[in-house]
C-alpha cells in the first residue's frame, strides 16, 4: 500500500480499486483522484469528507459493499479484512440479539444497518441500532451517509499505512 507520496504519484488505475474498497462510490473515488496531490494526510481526509456528502442512491449502493454487523464479509479481499478488523469489538455480542436487531432494522428501512463499529462493543452497537430505529427513513439515510464517511476515513488511513 502506498504512503502519501506514493498515493499522490500512483496511476489512477492502480488506486481506483483501493479507493473503491474505502467507499464504493465512483464520484467520490474520481474526486479524490482528481484533487491529487495532497499536501498531507489531513488534506486527503478533508477532501474525503467534503466529497462524502452522498445522494440517497449513492448511500444505498455503497451499503452493498458492507456485511451485516456481526457477519463476515463475503470474499477474501482487503475490504473483507478491514471489515473484520472494524467489527472486532462486536464479536462479543450475543449473536441472537444482533441477528434479531439486524432483521428488525432491515424490515424497517429496507437496507442493512451500518455503523462505524471500530472501538464499539456489541452492546454499544445494539444500543445505537435501537436508538436509530425511531429515525424517519430519510433521516436514517443521512445517518448511514455519515457512518460511511467515517468508515471511508478509517480505510483511507489504512491505505496509507
Q: Return per-residue pLDDT of the chain as tens, 161 residues.
A: 679 999 999 999 999 999 999 999 999 999 999 999 999 999 999 999 999 999 999 999 999 878 888 765 555 555 545 555 555 445 545 777 888 999 999 999 999 999 999 998 888 999 999 999 999 999 999 999 999 999 999 999 999 98
E strand or H helix at 156: helix 137-160
3-state helix, strand, coil in the chain (%, to 5): 70, 0, 30
Domain count along the chain? 1
Measured CA to CA, the distance from residue 102 to residue 110 in angstroms comes to 11
| pLDDT score of 110 | 95
Residue 45 exposed, middle or buried by CB count within 10 Å (0-12, 13-18, 19+): middle
pTM of the full predicted structure?
Answer: 0.84
CATH number of residue 124's parent domain: 1.10.3330.10
3-class SS of residue 93: coil
| pLDDT score of 73 | 53
Domain of 117 in residue numbering reads as 4-160
Amino acid at each position: 500500500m502506498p504512503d502519501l507520496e506514493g498515493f499522490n504519484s500512483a496511476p489512477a488505475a492502480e488506486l481506483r480499486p483501493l479507493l473503491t474498497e474505502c467507499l464504493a462510490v465512483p464520484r467520490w473515488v474520481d474526486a479524490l483522484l482528481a484533487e491529487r496531490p495532497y499536501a498531507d494526510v489531513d488534506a486527503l481526509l478533508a477532501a474525503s469528507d467534503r466529497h462524502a456528502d452522498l445522494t440517497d442512491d449513492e448511500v444505498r449502493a455503497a451499503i452493498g459493499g458492507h456485511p451485516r454487523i456481526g457477519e463476515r464479509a463475503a470474499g477474501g479481499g482487503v475490504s473483507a479484512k478491514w471489515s473484520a478488523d472494524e467489527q472486532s469489538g462486536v464479536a462479543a455480542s450475543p449473536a441472537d440479539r444482533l441477528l434479531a436487531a439486524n432483521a428488525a432494522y432491515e424490515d424497517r428501512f429496507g437496507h442493512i444497518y451500518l455503523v462505524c463499529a471500530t472501538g464499539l462493543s456489541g452492546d454499544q452497537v445494539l444500543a445505537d441500532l435501537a436508538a436509530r430505529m425511531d429515525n424517519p427513513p430519510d433521516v436514517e439515510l443521512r445517518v448511514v451517509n455519515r457512518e460511511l464517511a467515517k468508515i471511508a476515513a478509517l480505510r483511507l488511513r489504512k491505505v496509507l499505512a
